[in-house]
Amino acid sequence: MGLDSAAGFREELTARLARHDASRPLMPFDVPPESLRPAAVLLPLMAGNGGDGLQVMLTRRSSELRSHAGQISFPGGRIDATDANPEAAALREAEEEVGLPPDAVEIIGSMRPYQTGTGYLIHPIVGLIERAVKLRRNPSEVEEIFHVPLAFFLDPENHRPHTMEYQGRTHHLYAMPYKDYYIWGATAAILREFYLVVSGD
C-alpha cells in the first residue's frame, strides 16, 4: 500500500479503515467502563507542509498543564455536549490547539477507541490535509508543533517495548522514540493501531 504520498492511497486507506472494527475499544487498563470520559483526537496526515511524503503532525503539550505536561500527543481533547460527534470534537480541538482550519481536513475514517489509565476513552479520527496550512500553537496548551514522516511509524522496527506500572500491574506497551521526542502512552498505542490497520495485520 503506497502511503508515501497522498496520490493513490486515499481509496485504499478509506477501505481499510471501513473494514476495521472501530466498535471494539482497546482496554488495556482496569478502569470501570461506566466511568470513562469520552475524548477525541485527530491523527493528521499532512501532504502540504513540506517534507518527503506524508507527515504526521504531533504536539508537545505545555509544561504548564496540570496533566500530561510535556508529553507528545495528537491534537484533541474531551468531547463536549455541543460536539455533534467525535469527528467534530477532534476538528474543534485541532483548530483550538494548533490553528488547523477544519475545512482543510478530509476525514478518512476512525479507529478503535483507546482507554487510558487516567479515565478517558479516546476516539482517534484519521484526517488528510493536502493543502499548505499555517499552523499556530495555543501557548496555554501546546509547547511545540512538529512533524514526523509517516514512514517512520509504519516501520515496526521503530516500535520499541515500553513497560509501565499502573495499579500494581505491569503493562507492556509501545514507545516510538524519534530524534529528541519520546512518543509513548496513548499516542504510541494509537500509532501502533494505525500501523496494524495499514499493514492489514
The pLDDT assigned to 29 comes to 74
Domain-embedded: residue 159: no
Domain-embedded: residue 104: yes
Taking only the tens of pLDDT, the chain with its 201 residues reads 555 456 667 888 888 998 888 888 888 777 777 889 999 999 999 986 655 689 999 999 876 655 555 689 999 999 999 999 999 999 999 999 999 999 999 999 999 999 988 889 999 999 999 988 999 999 988 999 999 999 999 999 999 987 766 556 666 679 999 999 999 999 999 999 999 999 886
CATH at residue 18 = 3.90.79.10
Domain-embedded: residue 190: no
Domain-embedded: residue 162: no
The pLDDT assigned to 11 comes to 84
Domain-embedded: residue 127: yes
Cα 87 to Cα 79, 84, 157, distances in angstroms: 9, 8, 31
Residues 6+ apart with CB under 8 A from 120: 36, 37, 38, 39, 78
Grid cell in block for residue 5: 504520498
Domain-embedded: residue 134: yes
Domain-embedded: residue 129: yes
- Quote the number of domains for the chain: 1
pTM of the model: 0.90
Strands 142-149 and 160-166: unpaired
According to DSSP H, which parts of 4-80 are helical?
A: 10-19
Domain interval for residue 56: 10-23+34-153
